[in-house]
Amino acid sequence: MLGSWFKTTILMAAIVALFGMIGAMLGGGTGMLLALLFGGAMNIWAYWNSADMVLRMYNAQEVDESSAPHFYSMIRDLSQRANLPMPRVYIIDEAQPNAFATGRNPEHAAVAATTGILQMLSERELRGVMAHELAHVRHRDILISTISATMAGAISALANFAMFFGGRGEDGRPANPIAGILVALLAPLAAALIQMAISRSREFEADRGGAEISGEPRALADALTKIERFAQGLPLSAAEAHPETAQMMIINPLSGGGLSGLFSTHPATSERVARLMALAQVR
């Protein structure tokens, strides 16, 4: 657990450093400071607004004990086992089996599942999936992913600004235009790779935490195998329209291929399953 958090901290520091580097290219020390202030303002906005924004993107409908009694009571039981406040509960009318958690902290969290996953999984498998999402809440991964996604987006915007308008060093001279083009091309790529590494690191911890909460590592392993098999042939329109939200899902919802290992927001399902099965052996 501590090793994973250390890795996440290093990656977060790298993405902030990259942001500052582009700011410095645009305007030296002053540019770096302004870039970091801009990034901080974006993160504050994302901290307060990202959860509701994502739920609207997916047209998620809030449910309660009267409208979805079985699913709601499952979340309540798992929340108690995880020693967490009861989150808001949502259902998304989509055939692709998937689920995610959002919210700035455990006191303002929400979990959402598609109708596809509710129909496809057995009760024990669904409990494993939702326990995984509650582990994200307990670990405060939503805040980490929100910050990394916001910073990655801001880096892309700043890099494009640098390419089209150039920048200046500490002496006030224009920056090398070739360097500006390289930064515009490579900085967003580097930011995306760092963001994806952060996401993959947190998924392993959520699998471990979900297995602990549900008490059934094998059930979550079975669910992951089943979800990946069916999700590949069922597009999720909101995720395709907003690929930056893919990292939130329990399985990558995007249909794109090519260099999947490098650019995936999730670890290989086979590796996740192997780790869960190893946990099951020691129980």
133 has catalytic annotation: yes
38-90 pLDDT per residue, tens: 766 766 777 777 788 889 999 999 999 999 999 999 999 999 999 999 999 99
Assess whether pLDDT exceeds 70 at residue 29: no
Dist. CA 30–CA 2, nearest whole Å: 36
In which domain, by residue range, is 159 found? 2-282
- Can you give the pLDDT at residue 75? 98
- The more confident residue out of 130 and 256 is 130
Please identify which residue in the block is written with the tokens 């995610």: 100
Q: In whole numbers, what is the pLDDT of the chain averaged over residues?
A: 80
* Count of domains observed in the chain: 1
Nearest to 209 by CA among 267, 141, 265, 144: 141
DSSP 58: T
Q: What is the pLDDT of residues 198-224, one digit of tens each?
A: 677 789 999 999 999 999 999 999 999
Nearest in space to 134 (alpha carbons), one of 108, 115, 109, 113: 109
Q: Which of 125, 133, 205, 228 is catalytic?
A: 133
